[in-house]
Amino acid sequence: MMTLINTFLADKGIYMLTLLLLSLGVAGVIVCNNYMKKLICMNVMQVAVIFFFLCLGQKSPGTIPVAMDTVVKASDYINPLPHGLMLTAIVVSLGTTGVGLSLLLRIREKYGTIEEDDMLRREELMTRVEKNGGKRD
Amino acid sequence: MRKTITIILLITAVFVPFIAFNVLPVIGDPSSAPNTHVSDHYIEHAIDECNSPNMVTAVIVDYRAFDTMFETTVMFLAGLSVIMILANRPKKKIFAPSSLKRFRESGHPIYKTVNKDVMISIIEPVILIYAIYVLFHGEVSLGGGFQAGALIGMTYLLDVMVVKREKPIFNLPKKRAAAIAGIGPFIYALTGFISIIGGGLYLEYNKFPFPIHQAELHSIGITAVEIGVTIGVAGTIITILNALMERISFDDDIN
């Protein structure tokens, strides 16, 4: 039984960890009230996806994918394809984080807060004031 | 409500994949599906087809050059959209909440051992040299355009955040920085058109109209593309940084 668990963890355990990271990110996006924290959780999710792809590119006796004279077999180099794809994914995640931060700044300027509860309360107040013809009741 | 949805989601996320674990390959298995079909071709032919010992660079800027070109364009568009979102005139700068004001001395930490202004002016040239090294070693050893661009952007970020200056050394407001970021995809696209002039397809590096050896042409193409990527990424990082920094201010700002 113990060896079964050990082999399972050695073979597939890293998938569980990346999945845990992904679900933590999703849970954070759903639960958090603060939009800044939501953005951070979105980044955690992206990191989990990147980990997953890098796990698929591993080979157990492999070295880095830079060609050397002494190593000629293809099975001795780890898979360069996930590394290339994830390199661009990291950079795009930087772009999405920048756009998210600028949206957060606009929200902060309009509502004075980035907490979701306060924002909803403020929005309700603004519509009520508008309905009353510019007067607070 | 949200808590229950989250708990259900987490439970499914933890337990459902036990069914799917049979589909996923064993870690480090050289004969698994992602490690066999096209990956072997990339590894075996990267040197004689692209003259690039670094296979990751060969994959992203030679085999998948279109992908990287539009990826750089996506970065440029991200910088542009940050500018568009923050295009209105701010009523007033957002200051730190007044509860932080009583820690006024927190903005002026007294360094008893190391002066940060002197230290940063020693570190910054070293980072820049490293960035150039990473850029031009993109195809022969570890390195590449994205990393070099990130390092150059990092240098600008360090200079803006750490050193207090009346006037910045490089005055790059967001519009100028976005123009610099636009140069990057332009260089990338121009490289493709040069190979069309030589009679090849778009981004077919070995059809460049230069009288040198085929393998050298690939090196020139990869380096030109990497320079474009570097400029694009560095410009985008500086754009986002400056667009955000002109809206906010900290306790220890000079004005």
Range 119-158 of B in CB contact (< 8 A) with A: 141-142, 144, 146, 150
Q: Is residue B47 situated within a structural domain?
A: no
Q: Is residue B3 situated within a structural domain?
A: no
Give the integer Cα–Cα distance in Å for B5 and B198. 59
Please tell me the total count of domains within chain B: 1
ipTM of the complex: 0.84
Q: Which two tokens stand for residue B34?
A: 């992602």
Give the integer Cα–Cα distance in Å for A70 and B184. 37
CB contact under 8 A, B59 and A81: yes
Q: Is residue B19 situated within a structural domain?
A: no
Per-residue CA distances from B146 to A37, B71, B85, B150, B173 (Å): 27, 11, 25, 6, 22
Tell me if B142 sits within 8 A of B54, measured CB to CB. yes
pTM (two decimals): 0.85
Rounded to an integer, what is the distance from CA A99 to the centroid of its chain? 15
The pLDDT of B234-246, averaged and rounded, is 89
Give the integer Cα–Cα distance in Å for B239 and B175. 7
Range of the domain at B160: 65-87+114-247
Number of neighbours of residue B242 by Cβ within 10 angstroms: 24
Residues of chain B with Cβ-Cβ distance to A81 below 8 Å are 34, 38-39, 42, 59
Instruction: Provide φ and ψ at B214, rounded to 5°.
Output: -55, -45
pLDDT confidence of B107, banded at 50, 70, 90? low
B43 interfacial to chain A (CB closer than 8 Å): yes
Whether pLDDT at A47 is above 90: yes
Q: Which has more confidence, B71 or B114?
A: B71
B14 interfacial to chain A (CB closer than 8 Å): yes
**pLDDT digits over B172-182, tens only?**
888 888 899 99
Ranges of each domain in chain A: 2-131
Give the pLDDT of residue B125: 92
Arithmetic mean of pLDDT over chain A: 86
CB contact under 8 A, A79 and B27: no
**Dihedral angle computed from the Cα positions of residues A14, A15, A20 and A24, in that order, rounded to the nearest 10 degrees:** 110
Tell me if A41 sits within 8 A of A28, measured CB to CB. yes
CB contact under 8 A, B6 and A30: yes
Distance from CA of A81 to the nearest CA of B (A): 7
Q: Is residue B165 situated within a structural domain?
A: yes
Which residue of B lies nearest to A55 if distances are taken between CA atoms?
Answer: B27
pLDDT confidence of A59, banded at 50, 70, 90? confident
Rounded to an integer, what is the distance from CA B108 to the centroid of its chain? 32
Q: Is residue B102 situated within a structural domain?
A: no
pLDDT confidence of B128, banded at 50, 70, 90? very high
Pick the CATH number of A2-131 from 2.40.30.30, 3.30.70.980, 1.10.287.3510, 1.10.150.120: 1.10.287.3510
Q: Is residue B198 situated within a structural domain?
A: yes
CB contact under 8 A, B30 and A75: yes
